[in-house]
Amino acid sequence: MAETATLYDKLGGKEAIGSVVDVFYKKVLADDRINQYFKHTDMEAQRRHQTAFIAYALGGPKYTGRSMEKAHEGMNLQEVHWDAVVELLVESLQEKGVSNEDIQVIAENLLPLKPHILGK
């Protein structure tokens, strides 16, 4: 029985995920709904952490960064912020040619994190 490739492998691994993250953060920094949360952020470090996190969520190498609770603690994030991030991530994935079917799988993998990110 052949081993099924992970979505991480299917999308092209760390480099491909990193290119999606780059597009994503360009959109985030231009979006007034959420860009204020990144005013004092080292964006290179943020890109590395986000790439590693998404890679792990898609079946790649183990993520060793802070928990979602710790990373978003005290930010008072709300539904509107979650919705903006999801919208921009979907747009970024589409721009990079990821299929709608794979985007749905990615959304399903990330949705359980919502209460940890919003602190609810």
Binding residues: 49, 72
User: Which positions make up the binding site for heme?
Assistant: 49, 72
**Nearest in space to 60 (alpha carbons), one of 52, 48, 50:** 52
Structure tokens that stand for 115 in this block: 């209460």
> Residues near 106 by Cβ (< 8 Å), separated by ≥ 6?
7, 54, 57, 58, 89, 93, 98
**Nearest in space to 100 (alpha carbons), one of 90, 114, 92, 108:** 90
Structure tokens that stand for 108 in this block: 């399903």
Amino acid identity of residue 44, one-letter, is: E
